[in-house]
Chains A and B, each alone.
Chain A
């Protein structure tokens, strides 16, 4: 039986210009990147855009892949950073575009959000600040250990552990709120 070529080998080959290796790598990881994007953004269309951005940037990015980390870890990091960037840009831009109209836009967005947020997941996720959501997407969503998530996020393991504790605390609060309603 043929052994599958390891990701790292493919990535290094692709970085030095091997087109076939790049194609194979992409095919192998697209779904996983998309999955993480969805978990990070909570929206399908957003996830598709984000995945496309990452794919488009990947050829250039690959040059910085050093095989020090596993390729999947590295790709996770690229994805998380891209999502973070995009989020920051989106925040800046919506404000830039709106001027005093910010308020109305936020209100409209709030309405849309409530409509979407009718399942428990979206409620829970949208109530969490982005950094907690990112952590969750990696630990629960991707089934990574806290150590792995920490490495991807560029944080200490302690911070990730703290965030998970924080998530639990907030979920508990959320549950209490729901119980009241």
Chain B
């Protein structure tokens, strides 16, 4: 074998000498650009034509030549094609063939399709499987184990409660993708600068919208598993905290659709401050109440969806989803690439074979015509909607859906308008490289949906099977949180995360202002770090000329107000809860949430953490790991360790 390698080496060393003319031209161009760059004018980056040139004979030939490199996948001999296909099928899917027993098992459980599912989970095992695949060790055993555990859990724990928020991720299992360029990929992330410490005397009220997305955690995991620290702008701490299920008390029947729980504990990274944890637990409606569901899969089949962690994974993911539907639910598929088309007319979920066939026929190719596809999907959804039914468009893309649209904001507006008319939108992101997280977030927020990032089948399972009801059935819309801090008890406060969800104070009572949704069984966690007056940990000195806080008898730290709209209503209801002071030893959930909040801050610069570092975060997370039946938390601990190693490199 080494013979062959040597032969290859020798052949590769016979590189042709560069053509002097081209060399000179290239160097001249480089010098020109250099001069331009250093004259203060913006230098052109490498030319990136936005659209293909008008095809002419020469361009055609050029295309052929320039695409030669990827040709084996498309056009080489059948055996070459078979090789590549083999790779695509085997590596990322591991043993998750749709025919695998557990899928069948799901189908058999149709009497309790959606809502009764406790959260289940992708787990570290997913990570391991993925890592193994790329590193070549056998991947199947752990994944199988995961399935077993999940199955067991489901049998044992039917009563369960909280579904964690929805979106998610895992590492990209496929080596082909690992080559994703670090310097110049086209990913775009949504984020804002970290929330600063605020003085209660100046600004006693903090307002934000809930966020049940978890895409950020998934993206972080994917980056770490590829051996890179995630870009700071990809880190949204609240989405990391919300990735994990916590056991908050659920609302009693007859109460509001969700119930707030507030606890106060010492801050792990600062002895002089306290951590206030606000947990909202959404109700899990009775299964029988679930209205019929109309789902339109809007699937990006553009050329960039070709790699194994995109379209093939997407097909597998949707296969997992189908058994979760009831016979009377309807599914339609719209593909968009080149020209948008209805691949599958509305079909009742009981005709699973028809739906699966249509899914199988999807192939990647063509450019992306996102807007057209979107319009078509909404038209189909509207056609399907009957009274009392829930309709949702499920957009699955690698982020390229904006090609050709001159006006992404217009697209957002459009989604918003359709939401007002009753059709919601959720976004599933696939693959890395040109993941447009920012647009995904924006569209999902406009569409009252979740934005999830899926890069392993385990993740697909968490999002589309175990937490599907939360994803598809909102129980409260436009949920806003406002906290008024009591200046005699809290001198300074800092909201950890939620930067992209901040609201103006007056927006709280304005029902026209959109905010986040809580789905069936969702839980949302928000953390504040608060500092008492006189604490050594105060970041700001008191003002010499400032007014002393009006003495107040109240020992409350603050007052929590929540606004939400019941689905279909346009006026909001109010929930008010005082935040009692206290220093109860933190329970496992609280410790774990704090550790994850620390994790997020460590990834973004750790401005407020002092000497508290990875060791402490990992130890705290371990102490809060609890039963962790599905290994989410164990996985997080491993990711922390990985991040620690990467950050000390």
Chain A residues within CB distance 8 Å of chain B? 14, 17, 19, 22-23, 26-27, 30-31, 34-35, 38-46, 48-49, 51-61, 64, 77-78, 80-82, 84-97, 99, 102, 105-110, 112-113, 116, 119-121, 124-131, 133-134, 136-137, 140-141, 153-156, 158-159, 161-163, 165-168, 170-173, 175, 177
Contact = CB atoms under 8 A, between A and B. Distances in A.
A56 B76 contact: no
Given A96-B367, A113-B75, A23 B69 contact: no
Contacts of B71: 106, 109-110, 113, 126
B366 A153 contact: no
Contact of B33 (A59, A106, A109): A59
B484 to A, nearest CB: 45
15 contacts: A43-B68, A44-B16, A46-B68, A54-B46, A80-B179, A80-B181, A95-B338, A125-B8, A128-B72, A129-B87, A130-B69, A154-B179, A155-B175, A159-B175, A162-B134
B135 A159 contact: yes
Contacts of B433: 88
A161 B136 CA distance: 9
Interface in B1-22: 1, 4-5, 7-9, 11-13, 15-19, 22
Q: Which 4 A-B pairs have the closest CB atoms?
A: A81-B181, A96-B367, A121-B11, A55-B30
B76 A110 contact: yes
A109 B68 contact: yes
Interface string B225-244: 01110000000000000000
Nearest to A14: B34
Contacts of B304: 88, 91-92
Contact of A31 (B18, B35, B84, B184): B18
A19 B4 contact: no
Contacts of B353: none
Given A26-B30, A60-B37, A171-B5, A155 B64 contact: no
A147 to B, nearest CB: 13
Given A22-B31, A88-B433, A105-B63, A130 B183 contact: no
Interface in B59-101: 60, 63-76, 79-80, 83-84, 87
B183 A78 contact: yes
A43 B184 contact: no
Given A30-B27, A129-B87, A158 B181 contact: no
Which of A52, A86, A108, A133 has the most chain B CB within a 10 Å cutoff?
A: A52
Contacts of A162: 134-136, 175
Contacts of B43: 59-60
Interface string B432-448: 01000000000000000
Contacts of A57: 33, 45-46
Nearest to A142: B12
A93 B15 contact: no
Contacts of B66: 46, 49, 86, 90, 94
Given A81-B184, A91-B67, A126-B80, 12 more contacts: A34-B23, A53-B46, A55-B29, A85-B184, A96-B366, A110-B75, A121-B11, A124-B4, A126-B68, A129-B176, A130-B69, A173-B83
A39 B33 contact: no
B499 to A, nearest CB: 26
Contacts of B64: 94, 105, 108-109, 112
A128 B60 CA distance: 24
Most chain B CB within a 10 A radius of its CB, from A23, A95, A119: A95
Given A45-B65, A56-B30, A154-B182, A90 B70 contact: yes
A161 B137 CA distance: 12
Contacts of B8: 121, 124-125, 136, 140, 171
- Size range of the chain B interface in the assembly: 35 or more
A58 B33 CA distance: 8
Nearest to A101: B55
A177 B49 CA distance: 41
A95 B490 CA distance: 60
A120 B275 CA distance: 66
B45 A60 contact: yes
Nearest to A48: B22
B215 to A, nearest CB: 22
A177 B79 contact: yes
A159 B179 CA distance: 11
Given A35-B15, A39-B15, A53-B47, A140 B9 contact: yes
A58 B183 CA distance: 12
Q: Which of A88, A106, A116 has the most C-beta atoms of chain B within 10 angstroms of its own C-beta?
A: A88
Interface of B: 1, 4-5, 7-9, 11-13, 15-19, 22-23, 25-27, 29-31, 33-38, 43-49, 51-52, 55, 60, 63-76, 79-80, 83-84, 87, 134-136, 175-176, 178-184, 226-228, 302-304, 306, 338, 365-367, 433
Contacts of A105: 60, 63-64
B52 A96 contact: yes
Contacts of A41: 68-69
A55 to B, nearest CB: 4
Nearest to B55: A97
Given A30-B26, A168-B4, A82 B11 contact: no
A35 B15 CA distance: 6
Contact of B75 (A34, A109, A116, A166): A109
A54 B183 CA distance: 13
B179 A134 contact: yes
Given A55-B29, A56-B46, A155 B226 contact: yes
A90 B72 contact: no
B18 A51 contact: yes
Given A109-B64, A121-B8, A155 B34 contact: no
Contacts of A84: 179-181
A91 B70 contact: yes
Contacts of A90: 63, 66-67, 69-70
A141 B13 contact: yes
A39 B12 contact: yes
A4 B84 CA distance: 46
A42, A54, A136, A158: residue with the most chain B Cβ atoms closer than 10 Å: A158
Contacts of A102: 365-366
B7 A120 contact: yes
A95 B31 contact: no
A48 B176 CA distance: 25
Contact of A77 (B4, B68, B183): B183
A179 B63 CA distance: 34
A32 B181 CA distance: 20
A159 B226 CA distance: 10
A129 B83 CA distance: 9
A95 B303 contact: yes
Contact of A127 (B11, B80, B302): B80
B33 A48 contact: no
Contact of A130 (B37, B51, B70): B70
B68 A154 contact: no
